[in-house]
Structures are given as C-alpha cells and as structure tokens.
Amino acid sequence: MIVILVFLALIYLCLMLYLWTGLLKTSHLPLTSHLPHVSIVIPMRNEEPFIETTLNALNAQKYDGKWEVIVVNDRSTDKSPEIVQNFCEKNEKFSMLNVPHDSPQIASPKKRALNTGFLAAKGEFLLIADADCVPPPNWLNSMANCYAGGASVVQGAKANNGGGSFLHAYQKLETLGWTLIEAAGFNRNKPLVASAASLGYSKDLFFKCGGFEGLYDIASGDDDMLIHRMAKIKETKFAYNWDTSSIMPTAPVDSWKALLQQRARWGSNGAKYDNKAYSIFLFCIYAFFVWLFISPFLCLLGMPVYYALIPFLIKIICDFALLFTGALRLKSLKLLWCLPLVEIVQVPLFVAAVPLGMLGMYRWK
C-alpha cells in the first residue's frame, strides 16, 4: 500500500510542478497591424434572464476590425429567442440561427449549436462565449490581438463573479485553479484543459482537425477534447491571454446540489479521451483524491496518522504554490482566504462527482 500511495503522491507532485513552471512561461507574440475578421458564436438555450445583458456587453466591444455575432438558439422554450431577434433587428452585426425543434436528441447539443454557427460564420477567427457571460469591453480586441500575433488557438482568462457566501467563494477559487491549469498548458503549447467560456481558434483549423465529428455523443468536450485534436496538427500554436482587462466573468451556481451536478458533467468524460495515457493519468489523480478521502477513516481504525496527513499536506502546499503564483499574476490574491476550507470540501465533492459523471447521473440544461 505504501508503494501505491507514494506513487500517487509523486504523480500529483509532478503535475503541480509541471503546472507551476508552466505558469512562469510567457508567450511572446509579435506586434502586428493585422485585424482578423472575427465571428463570435454564442450557443443559447433558455437564457432569458441573461441574454440581453450579454448582447449589450458584446455590442459595446471595442474593435476596429470586422466582426459579427451569431447567436445559435438551441430549441429554447422561453422568451430568449424573441429577445435576441429584437436585438438583431436593431444591430446589424448580430444575427440568430435556430436549431430545428425536431432535431434528434444527442448527448451534447451545445456542440451541434456551435457547429451550426461555425458553418455560417464569415470570420477567420472563431470566438466562443457562453450566453450568460458578460465580456468586458476589451475582450474581443484582446483575444483577436493574440490570434493576430500568430496563435492558432487562444484561451482567455475567466473569473467567477459570485457573492460573499462560502459556496460562491469555493467556486471563485476553484475557477481560478482551472484557469491556471489552462494557462500552464497553453504557455507550454501543450494544453491539458480548456474552457469554452472564453476560447477562440482559427476557423480553418477547426474544420481541418475534424471539428466535433465523433464527439456529439459525449456530454462535454467542446473545449478540451477539441483542443487535444487541434494539438495533433503540427503547426498549431496555442496562446494564453493574460490581459486582466479582458477576463471573462462567469456565473456561479447557487446550490451545492447544482455544483455537484456541474462537476459530475465535467467529470463524465475522463475515460473518453482519444489519448488513453491521458485518461490513465486522470485516473491516477482521481485515485489520489480517493485516498485523501478514505484515509482519515482508516486512521480511526488504527492506521498511522501520517499516512493521511503527509499526502494532504503535499496537496495543500502544491495547491497554494500554484494558486498564489497565478493569483498574483491575475491580481486575485484576495481569493486565497478560503483555501484551507476549500481544500477540505473539494476532496469529497471531487470523489463523488466523477463516478456520478461516469454513470451519467447528472442533468443537462
């Protein structure tokens, strides 16, 4: 048992060291006067409370090049299509497409909605955001400049905009963590994960790598599975957008049950990556979390306390080093106040979410 425990702890330690050193790298993109034609594609399903605010934020973008916004209505049953249609009639850069209501049910309707928008897009650079996000005025310009500097795929930073409750504080800190994992991989030109809340890539590259073909029956993966495909194309260059004036705010969920559902959906694809070595690696990380969860109970049955304490200290120290480095760069140090409690809550949440996701025990919007 001790050999397995040491092995799992070393894998986690090596991962965090890989990520931490990745954060220290910086992509140096050349200055350019080229302003790419950008198509912003927004998949939408039942976003009546948010969509008008999102559209107004997009309309306020500061960009001198050509750009358009395509909202893809994915069979909404609320008033969001009417809101979008009225907005489009008043703003010529905006248009709406509709996924037919009789379209067959698939595991990932979001991918179908995105693909519908991409086929109609006129721009060379496809920029994606969620329908409940409110991009800051410099978002489009900042992301387009990264692409113009030579990047094929650009990942933007994001931040959770919840309130002061611990539930929201938890999501803010975990969102920072995922953001830093994305940044480290993109900085190394070997991305591990990505987030479609602020993601852009070449239209030509999307279709060259096969797009979402073969991924429609996988619930998630419109971000990280796609960029793994793109990474197989030799000339693909990844860039992370560190511009703090373009950080995309994302909305939190408002209950622990909803958070577990969300994390289950995120964890549903662990065994479905094309790269099986990556899936095995994810399994080892999960096994480390399982040990962190069960080890305190084993200590109550007589196991030496250090078997539980040392792995947990390794996790806390590694997590703090990564989060502090990234928070310093993204000017988010105040998020670290709840780290000790988040470390405790994250373990059982993650351990529960993965099997729920693998078994399909979650609901899509």
**CA-based nearest residue to 252, from 364, 136, 160, 159:** 160
Q: Which residues contact 82 (CB under 8 A, 6 or more apart)?
A: none
Cα-Cα end-to-end distance for the chain? 42
Q: pLDDT value at position 286?
A: 96
Q: What's the alpha-carbon Rg for the chain, to the nearest Å?
A: 21
Q: pLDDT value at position 65?
A: 96
What the block records as the tokens of 283 is: 């399994």
- Helix (H) or strand (E) segment spanning residue 163: none
Q: pLDDT value at position 173?
A: 97
245 in Cβ contact with 142 (< 8 Å): yes
Q: Which residues contact 185 (CB under 8 A, 6 or more apart)?
A: 19, 22, 191, 192, 193, 238
**CA-based nearest residue to 125, from 144, 112, 97:** 144
192 in Cβ contact with 281 (< 8 Å): no
Q: pLDDT value at position 218?
A: 82
Q: Which residues contact 311 (CB under 8 A, 6 or more apart)?
A: 5, 8, 9, 288, 291, 292, 295
CA geometry: angle at 87 spanning 86 and 91, to 5°? 125
Tell me the domains of the chain and their CATH numbers: 2-21+269-358 (no CATH), 35-255 (3.90.550.10)
180 in Cβ contact with 19 (< 8 Å): yes
Helix (H, G, I), strand (E, B) or coil at 208: helix
Q: Provide the H-helix boundaries in 66-149.
A: 80-90, 109-120, 139-148
Alpha carbons 217 and 263: distance in angstroms, whole number? 18
339 in Cβ contact with 320 (< 8 Å): yes
126 forms beta bridges with 39, 201
Strand order in the sheet with 94-99: 94-99, 67-74, 38-44, 125-128, 199-202, 153-156, 238-241
Alpha carbons 301 and 45: distance in angstroms, whole number? 50
**In angstroms, what CA-CA distances link 305 with 30, 191, 295, 297, 309?**
53, 37, 9, 10, 6
Q: What is the pLDDT along the chain (365 residues), one digit of tens a residue?
A: 789 999 999 999 999 999 999 998 876 566 566 899 999 999 999 999 999 999 999 999 999 999 999 999 999 999 999 999 999 999 999 999 999 999 998 888 999 999 999 999 999 999 999 999 999 999 999 999 999 989 999 999 999 988 989 999 999 999 999 999 999 999 999 999 999 999 999 999 999 999 999 988 887 778 999 999 999 999 999 999 999 999 999 989 999 999 999 999 888 877 778 888 899 999 999 999 999 999 999 999 999 999 999 999 999 999 999 999 999 999 999 999 999 999 999 999 999 999 998 888 776 65
Q: pLDDT value at position 50?
A: 93
Alpha carbons 168 and 335: distance in angstroms, whole number? 11
Q: pLDDT value at position 364?
A: 60
208 in Cβ contact with 233 (< 8 Å): yes
Alpha carbons 2 and 122: distance in angstroms, whole number? 58
